[in-house]
């Protein structure tokens, strides 16, 4: 019995073995590190405490609620309330401020851009890209090419009502499918495609075969020079910016079948503050347009003429077209254009139409004699 319970001690390390041996290798019976034992005991105690305090044990219909009443839904709600409280500091001012006032206020502007950036990533990035660079059929919002206008109010209207979104106020434009609907034959389509491509390169000529086709079928929307029309959402064809591709094949496909993309009316999905923030964010991406202020000019310093008026004179006394009256000038021909600044108007003011329209020659009043 004594020999059976005799401890086996490794003669090299001096540590008692477990009595197990494999191919001459003995398993030493080393004790666990004291620090590890304490950590293990503490983790057991902590797990028991966690099971009591937090929801953990699965039960029918969910899990035990725990004594703390914690839930992820409750945590989310508290976080959202905190965000709303922080937003409320600026929302009141933002709701009352015009777009110009927001742009002029650094704090409101930062608030609008931050909110617009977040809303853009959640709602717009899947089509326009995270950087608003656009893609095939989706416009690039960083450039200065706009179908419906690039001022903040224009962008806001587009966001609010969408494009072909099915509501009464939505932006609507429809290019005819000239080939599919039989409006033009293939030869005419090829000619107008060549002309449109030449327009984009600044090489279009009136002598080109597609010129007549363009003027008869396309100019009503795109303009005689192809510069587009924002009133109907017609793109500018002279800037080499293409929504559906600028190759000959792509332009042919557009003319033949036409395209009609759709943008949602975000006014039906987002609140008005979010839409205003989006409008400011998109406007400030780089291609936004500004309202052009009308310069204030003193009436006494400007001849209020909008159209060019030619004043014909003769050395004997001078005439204004059919009115034979001398004028107090010495030049043989004077061209009076819009807003010409001069201390002494060359044309008496009572000859000029203050509404800015050119008065027919036959009805011009007689000019007073020069002093």
Q: Tell me whether residue 326 is in a domain.
A: yes
Give the burial class of 233: count Cβ atoms within 10 A of its Cβ; 0-12 exposed, 13-18 middle, 19 or more buried: buried
| Residue 252, SS3 per DSSP | helix
Into how many domains does the chain fold?
2
Write the pLDDT tens digit of every residue in 4-57.
567 788 788 888 888 888 888 888 888 889 999 999 999 999 999 998 998 888
Evaluate if residue 234 carries a pLDDT over 90: yes
Please indicate, yes or no, if residue 84 is contained in any of the structural domains: no
Once rounded to an integer, what is the mean pLDDT over residues 220-238?
A: 94
Half-sphere exposure of 6 (CA within 13 A, CB side): 7
Residue 58 lies in a domain: yes
Return the pLDDT at 13.
82
Q: By residue range, what is the domain housing residue 49? A: 34-63
Domain annotation covers residue 221: no
Q: Is there a contact between 65 and 73 (Cβ–Cβ < 8 Å)?
A: no
Q: Is the predicted pLDDT of residue 70 greater than 70, yes or no?
A: yes
Amino acid 20: pLDDT: 84
Where residue 332 falls (left for φ over 0; alpha for ψ -120 to 50; beta otherwise) is alpha
Q: Is 304 part of a structural domain of the chain?
A: yes
Determine, yes or no, domain membership for 43. Answer: yes
Residue 281: inside a domain: no
Quick one: tokens of 218? 């396309």
Q: Over 50: is that where the pLDDT of 349 sits?
A: no
57 within some domain: yes
What percent of the chain is modeled with pLDDT above 70?
Answer: 77
Query: pTM of the entire structure?
Result: 0.61
């Amino acid at each position: 019995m004594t020999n059976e319970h005799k401890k086996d001690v490794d003669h090299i390390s001096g540590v008692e073995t477990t009595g197990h041996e494999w191919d001459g290798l003995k398993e030493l019976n080393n004790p666990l590190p004291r620090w590890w034992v304490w950590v293990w005991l503490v983790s057991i105690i902590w797990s028991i405490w966690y099971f009591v305090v937090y929801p953990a044990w699965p039960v029918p219909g969910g899990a035990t609620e725990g004594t703390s009443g914690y839930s992820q839904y409750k945590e989310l709600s508290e976080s959202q309330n905190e965000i709303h409280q922080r937003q409320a500091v600026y929302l009141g001012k933002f709701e009352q401020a015009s777009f110009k006032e927001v742009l002029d206020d650094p704090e409101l502007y930062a608030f609008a851009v931050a909110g617009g950036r977040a809303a853009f990533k959640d709602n717009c990035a899947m089509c326009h890209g995270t950087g608003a660079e656009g893609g095939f059929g989706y416009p690039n919002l960083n450039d200065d090419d706009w179908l419906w206008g690039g001022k903040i109010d224009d962008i806001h209207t587009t966001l609010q009502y969408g494009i072909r979104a099915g509501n009464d106020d939505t932006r609507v434009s429809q290019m005819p499918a000239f080939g599919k609907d039989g409006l033009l034959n293939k030869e005419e389509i090829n000619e107008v495609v060549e002309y449109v491509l030449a327009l984009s390169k600044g090489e279009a000529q009136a002598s080109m075969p597609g010129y007549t086709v363009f003027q008869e079928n396309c100019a009503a929307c795109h303009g005689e020079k192809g510069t587009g029309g924002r009133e109907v959402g017609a793109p500018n064809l002279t800037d080499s910016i293409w929504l559906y591709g600028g190759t000959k094949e792509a332009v042919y496909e557009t003319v033949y079948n036409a395209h009609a993309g759709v943008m949602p009316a975000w006014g039906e999905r987002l609140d008005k503050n979010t839409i205003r923030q989006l409008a400011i964010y998109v406007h400030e991406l780089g291609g936004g347009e500004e309202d052009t202020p009308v310069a204030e000019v003193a009436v006494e310093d400007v001849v209020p003429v909008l159209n060019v008026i030619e004043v014909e004179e003769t050395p004997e006394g001078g005439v204004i077209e059919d009115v034979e009256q001398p004028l107090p000038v010495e030049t043989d021909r004077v061209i009076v254009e819009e807003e010409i600044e001069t201390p002494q108007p060359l044309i008496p003011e009572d000859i000029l139409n203050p509404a800015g329209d050119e008065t027919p020659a036959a009805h011009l009043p007689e000019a007073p004699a020069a002093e």
